[in-house]
A and B are shown apart, each in its own frame.
Chain A
């Protein structure tokens, strides 16, 4: 039997070329790609103006290119992106642990980041229906998201999105996770949140393909006394321990090593690892499809992670 084309306008999505995509309501939305992509604002400028690219940076950029191809191959309709705000706009006067962005567009980074790092901007529409669905269903699942109708994204969003979808042709749903301004919720909450966001997406009626891109840090001390430690010591014992747990898909061990105090002691931005924990919540126990671990004296250690559609859906695609 041929699939029935649903003409209910609630499930019609106007595409960038002006055509109308009729999502079928017989199936729910599906997670087709999950990745953890670095947001180091120095990375996009590597090799600029003909400067030489070191082997570690080459490996990172090649790995990101691989994940970009993986994202394209997953043919997503929408990207949900989870990242942090680097005290760009959210401050201690009003600090959301978890926030859904539901403005008309996602745009950034702010001017000072464009100037300081020569960063390109990213500007794409926000898929407001999914943003609102995640927000309201989050309440049903006992997640008290904050929300915002007017915000800017900093390099935590613009760098991964420019790496992964430079053509900016897909609608985005941004989810802000507080990694930076303590107190932050315990790691187990980021894990649970990732699982709930996945469940909400998979309960959304339009039959659309949703990619989830996350970002975070391994040992990272930007701003503090350990900012240049990687130039002497590219990896810490914590990095090795965490990477071993990633290789074993030992999520309980990842959470056990993700207390604020343990991460912060590695370097003041290391709690950005909570972005990985959120990704593991989305993965809901599924081991990664592809991984790379890149310690370097040239930039802080980074891990790249990708889960494919088939992997995420139990080989059932």
Chain B
């Protein structure tokens, strides 16, 4: 597990327009050679928000990542995000 590497992907996509475009255009290429496990690679490729959250990805980063790849914030997107995470017991330790 590399929570740091996962958070770094979330952070770069959420904060950097050029890197967000790279992730959107060629996600497999973007995620390669970043020290991600096979499962983390899958989670970020398939945008499996529930699995990322359950594994301890930073929730605020995860949400801002989602805002970015959704093209901006919207109420329905927020409701969908909460629904996706609703059945997970939040991990208390999210430190890297």
**CB of A186, distance to nearest CB on chain B (Å):** 14
The distance in angstroms between the C-alpha atoms of A222 and B85, with both chains bound, is 12
Q: What class of interface size applies to chain B in its complex with A?
A: 20 to 34
Residue B37 at the chain A interface, CB threshold 8 Å: no
**CB of B63, distance to nearest CB on chain A (Å):** 3
In the complex, chain A residues whose CB is within 8 Å of the CB of B64? 87, 223
Report the nearest A residue to B50, measured CB to CB: A225
Q: Which single member of B63, B72, B86, B93 contacts A222 (CB below 8 Å)?
A: B63
Q: What class of interface size applies to chain A in its complex with B?
A: 20 to 34
Verify B72–A224 contact, CB threshold 8 A: no
In the complex, chain B residues whose CB is within 8 Å of the CB of A182? 93-95
Q: Which single member of A88, A180, A181, A227 contacts B15 (CB below 8 Å)?
A: A88
**Chain B interface, >50% SS class:** helix
In the complex, chain A residues whose CB is within 8 Å of the CB of B11? 87, 91
Cβ proximity bits B1-23 to A, threshold 8 Å, 1 near / 0 not: 00010011001001100000000
In the complex, chain A residues whose CB is within 8 Å of the CB of B88? 225
Cβ proximity bits A245-282 to B, threshold 8 Å, 1 near / 0 not: 00000000000000001001100110000000000000
The distance in angstroms between the C-alpha atoms of A86 and B60, with both chains bound, is 8
Report the nearest B residue to A92, measured CB to CB: B96
Verify A181–B78 contact, CB threshold 8 A: no
Q: Which single member of B14, B73, B90 contacts A225 (CB below 8 Å)?
A: B90
In the complex, chain B residues whose CB is within 8 Å of the CB of A110? 15
The distance in angstroms between the C-alpha atoms of A180 and B81, with both chains bound, is 20
Residue B62 at the chain A interface, CB threshold 8 Å: yes
In the complex, chain A residues whose CB is within 8 Å of the CB of B60? 86-87, 180, 222-223, 268-269
Verify B61–A268 contact, CB threshold 8 A: no
The distance in angstroms between the C-alpha atoms of A110 and B64, with both chains bound, is 13
Residue A133 at the chain B interface, CB threshold 8 Å: no
Write the residues of chain B forming the contact surface with A, with a CB cutoff of 8 angstroms.
4, 7-8, 11, 14-15, 53, 58-64, 67-68, 72-73, 78-79, 81-82, 85-86, 88, 90, 92-96
